[in-house]
Structure 1
């Protein structure tokens, strides 16, 4: 009888933890931006929706709002769960290409539990290792929606 109770308790706790993780990202706002003189990209993710802005001038500016697929959303949940937001200011950028116009200047901002977390600037396409999966997933969302 105790074994059945333990199994049911484990299943119940496991499901509540996964729902809690989804609620965590549902209550977060992720903003990725990359820019240089001729390139501008901004992606804002909130509650399974992505707003993708490209271009800076009226002639080149475009903005789309797209629903993130369930599989992509689940991937984002898993990656967000692994992200240490408190470490954002201390992340090390692996390359310095943005210093000589070799890459766009990028950053990731997260608004979560009434706090703002912002990374140091890094090269678009070369994020810090600690957030590489999350950033690459966000950028991949923009590629699918063109």
Structure 2
């Protein structure tokens, strides 16, 4: 009986935390930009919506994020330490000699703006690699 009660309590608390995390993510705005002389990409994610702009002059293409992708994005967002984003160092420096586009991740959350330092498109800092990879997957 105790085991059953413990299982139900664990399940209830787990669902509560998941719901809270989703509510937090719904108030956040993630903006990933990458650009160089011949390349431009801006991906904006906000409340189950996706906006992709692949040209500086054209309008963004908007779409809805699937529930499975949204759930994965929420989980990856929870893993990011927002206060440390500004201190992350790029693992490569190809952007200095046009070897890669200059990329940056911005997160607007809870009335604050969190901005990463620039890094090479395709080579994000390890701490945000998973979420940046997921964001870029939407653009393909």
TM-score (norm: length of structure 2): 0.94
Distance in 2 (alpha carbons) for counterparts of 1:83 and 1:64: 27
Give a deviation string over 1:103-144, Cα, whole Å, max 9, x none.
11000000111111000000001000110010010000010x
Gaps in structure 1 of 5+ consecutive residues:
none
User: Aligned runs of 1:101-116 on 2, under 5 Å?
Assistant: 101-116=98-113
Give a deviation string over 1:10-61, Cα, whole Å, max 9, x none.
222111001011111111000000011111110110011101011124xxx2
1:132 paired with 2:113, answer no
Aligned pair count reads: 140
Distance in 1 (alpha carbons) for counterparts of 2:128 and 2:53: 21
Distance in 2 (alpha carbons) for counterparts of 1:4 and 1:41: 51
CA RMSD of aligned residues (A): 1.3
1:23 paired with 2:20, answer no
Gaps in structure 2 of 5+ consecutive residues:
none
